[in-house]
Amino acid sequence: MPAIDVAGEFETIQRLLKPLAHPEWARGLADDVAVLPSRPGHDLILTKDAIIEGVHFLPDDPLDTVAQKLLRVNLSDLAAKGAEPFGYLLACHWSERCGWPEREAFVAGLRRDQAIFDIALLGGDTVKTPGPASFSATMMGWAPSSSTVSRGGARPGDLVFVTGTIGDGWLGLQAAQATLTLDPERMDALETAYRTPMPRVEFATVVRGLATASADVSDGLLADARHIAEASKVGVEIDLEVLPLSAAAQAWLDSRVDTQAALELLATGGDDYEIILTVPAGAENVLRREAERRHLRLTRIGRVVEGKGIAVRHLGQAITPTRIGWTHD
């Protein structure tokens, strides 16, 4: 039995969350379940992530961007598997600071991203907590049967690519905490990357059609490359000097004395929500054309080899990074 939020659990559901619900499958948020019709020839793909105040977002982060980040980190997981999202289950644990205006702001963020990504709320739970605010979403998507890309399909000879840019999430956290100094436009760009990362949902069909293995870059580029290496039982070599950087990240890198150490930080900071994928060498031209059609930056960052684990190089020299990425204790 869920705890009752005397400050407005049912009012929150009726006034704020019910308008977001899918008109059929969510049953008006008046039931304990959502009912999804079967879809012949497709697999149902599910993923779940939670974000906690003081851990995954700052206590003074606007709650509309917190809601957007919650949806987007889950959408990123589906995109990396080649799945098409359609809906989500939501759990809200409101802290003492989450009054009605804050809840309205949170729901405004959900509404904004539901429209952008064509998804709908299917159900969930909302309670009040004496601790920090936390939220979780279970995102659901479809993929044609037996087509979902895993981490475990990379083969020696494959090439390793990553979408977008790397390091903006890590730098964006520092920008939001005012521990970084760049010009205002670049600071704003980094904060936006941290608070509202852009999942590569438009690339999901390409991943599904061409990738042998893939993962979203959440724990850090090197950590997620290692996840692919371990699952595929192969070696993955990454070249740090070709790391794709935004203008803001490049400006930060240009101010560093030790370029290699700085690149290691960018490659291990996490929170980028790009897609790292492996493809057969013969598919490179097709992959690049598909990225260009979507106006999506795509960078070849390494290769798959015989062996085990991840090998990192800088300007052709093997290096041992001081860390690989974010770990969850």
42 in the same domain as 188 = no
Note whether 132 and 174 are same-domain residues: no
Model's pTM, two decimal places? Answer: 0.90
CB 158 within 8 A of CB 278: yes
- CATH number (domain holding residue 236): 3.90.650.10
pLDDT confidence of residue 30: 63
Q: Tell me the binding residues.
A: 32, 47, 49, 56, 77, 124-125, 151, 216, 218-219, 271, 326
**Phi and psi at residue 301, to the nearest 5°:** -115, 0
Same domain, 43 and 188: no
192 and 239 part of one domain: yes
User: Which structure tokens are listed for 137?
Assistant: 């979403």
Q: What is the DSSP string of 72-122?
A: HHHHHHHHHTT-EEEEEEEEEEE-TT--HHHHHHHHHHHHHHHHHHT-EEE
Q: Are residues 109 and 196 in the same domain?
A: no
The pLDDT value recorded for residue 301 is 98
Instruction: Report strand pairing: 235-239 vs 298-305.
Output: antiparallel
CATH of the domain at 114: 3.30.1330.10
Say if 1 falls within a structural domain.
no
CB 303 within 8 A of CB 213: no
Cα distance between residue 36 and residue 226, in whole Å: 36
Residue 37 included in any domain:
yes
pLDDT tens digits for the chain (329 residues)? 344 444 466 678 778 888 998 888 776 776 565 667 767 888 889 999 999 999 889 999 999 999 999 999 999 999 999 999 999 999 999 999 899 999 999 999 999 999 999 999 999 999 999 999 999 999 999 999 888 899 999 999 999 999 999 999 999 999 999 999 999 999 999 999 999 999 999 999 999 999 999 999 999 999 999 999 999 999 999 999 999 999 999 999 999 999 999 999 999 999 999 999 999 999 999 999 999 999 999 999 999 999 999 999 999 999 999 888 866 54
CA–CA separation, 194 and 176 (whole Å): 8
CA distances from 76 to 48, 83, 257 (A): 11, 10, 34
Known binding residues for substrate are: 56, 271, 326
Number of domains in the chain: 2
What residues contact 15, with CB distance under 8 A and at least 6 apart? none
Domain shared by 296 and 237, yes or no: yes
Residues 287 and 164 in one domain: yes
Residue 233, in any domain of the structure: yes
Which of 95, 115, 144 corresponds to the end of one domain?
144
State whether 88 and 23 are in the same domain.
yes
- In this structure, are 111 and 214 located in the same domain? no
Binding residue ranges for ATP: 124-125, 151, 218
The answer to whether residue 154 is domain-embedded is no
Q: 304 and 163 in one domain?
A: yes
Tokens of 2: 């869920």
The CA R_g of the chain, rounded to the nearest whole Å, is: 20
Is residue 150 assigned to a domain?
Answer: no
What is the full DSSP assignment across 223-281? HHHHHHHHHHTSEEEEEGGG----HHHHHHHHT-S-HHHHHHHHHHS-----EEEEE-G
CA distance 31 to 29: 6
The two beta strands, 84-94 and 120-128, are parallel
Give me the domain span that covers residue 134.
Answer: 9-144
Which residues participate in the annotated binding site for Mg(2+)?
32, 47, 49, 77, 125, 216, 219
Whether 137 and 201 map to the same domain: the answer is no
Domain presence at residue 149: no
Amino acid 327: pLDDT: 60
> At which of 118, 144, 170 does a domain end?
144
Is 327 domain-assigned?
A: no
From 210, 82, 211, select the one nearest 144 (Cα to Cα). Answer: 82
By C-alpha distance, which of 45, 72, 80, 47 is closest to 231?
80
Shared domain for 94 and 217, answered yes or no, is: no
Residue 104 lies in a domain: yes
Name the domain boundary from 144, 178, 203.
Answer: 144
